[in-house]
Homo-oligomer: A and B are copies of this chain.
Amino acid sequence: MSFRLCLVVLLAACALLARSPAFAEVIPIDDPVAAKIFADAKAKVGFWKLIHFYESQNDQTYCGVASATIILNSLDIESPPAPAIYPFRKFDQSNFFTEAVLAIKPPKLVHLSGLTLDELAGMIRAYGVTVDVHHAAAPMDLDGFRAIASAALADPKARVEINYHRKVLGQDGAGHHSPLAAYDAVSDRFLILDVARYKLPPVWAPAADVWASMATEDSDAKANRGFLVIRIK
């Protein structure tokens, strides 16, 4: 192989690796580059409310429950009582399971297999808020996702939750849920508030990679993963 051919092959291999979803470049929030992206980001109105209530999933299948808890608290929706802090009330990963939520899936089954996008949507809807379900499949596409999610992240009465596959973001793991907290148009990245905080930090991920990570089949749901837009009046 000539030197020039060898160089071309090497460059092509590098380009392929750089494009591979397994090598998506997510940026942890404590990276100096992330601080700059945050400073520039315009769609981040719910960020401060979300970090006020940001918490870890209580166990390894509670990503959906933790995401819902954070989002409901951040929207000031009246919660069921929380005995340990009575007379104060806040959503936690235990009192979230009211009778209406239990009817969708009880903790025993969530411990086994987590939640699908539609199950989580139903649970959040049980608290009287509007929940739009968008599976990452035609006719929805990357542009539609970016437009809907970035508009919601600029609206104080809306929140966004994603159901995605970690591998596509180059992270260890499989299907996962987390809230989005911001969108930056310059870098075209979303901030994912990862709820498995014992494992990975919050990250800024390229919109195209977030889309690709949602456009994966959830075998429990027999449908693609996707995103929720949660809205109060």
Interface residues of A (CB under 8 A from B): 29-30, 34-35, 39, 48-49, 51-56, 58-60, 82, 84-85, 88-90, 197-199, 201-202
Cβ-neighbour of A52 out of B29, B48, B84, B88 (below 8 A): B29
Alpha-carbon distance A59/B58, docked complex (angstroms): 16
Which chain B residues border A30 with CB–CB below 8 Å? 48-49, 52
Closest Cβ neighbor of A88 among chain B residues: B198
Q: Which residue of B lies closest to A52 (CB)?
A: B201
Whole-angstrom distance between the alpha carbons of A55 and B197 in the complex?
A: 11
* A198 partner, pick from B51, B90, B198, beta carbons under 8 A: B90
A60–B48 contact, CB under 8 A?
A: no
The chain B residue sitting closest to A74, CB to CB, is: B30
3 A-B pairs closest in CB distance: A30-B48, A90-B198, A88-B198
A59 to B39, CA, bound (A): 34
Contact between chains at B56 and A197 (CB < 8 Å): no
Within 8 Å CB of A35, what residues of B?
Answer: 48
The CA-CA distance from A29 to B35 in the complex, in Å, is 17
**A-B contacts, 19 listed (Cβ < 8 Å):** A29-B48, A29-B51, A29-B52, A30-B49, A34-B48, A35-B48, A51-B54, A55-B55, A55-B56, A56-B90, A59-B85, A60-B84, A60-B85, A82-B198, A85-B198, A85-B199, A88-B199, A89-B198, A90-B198
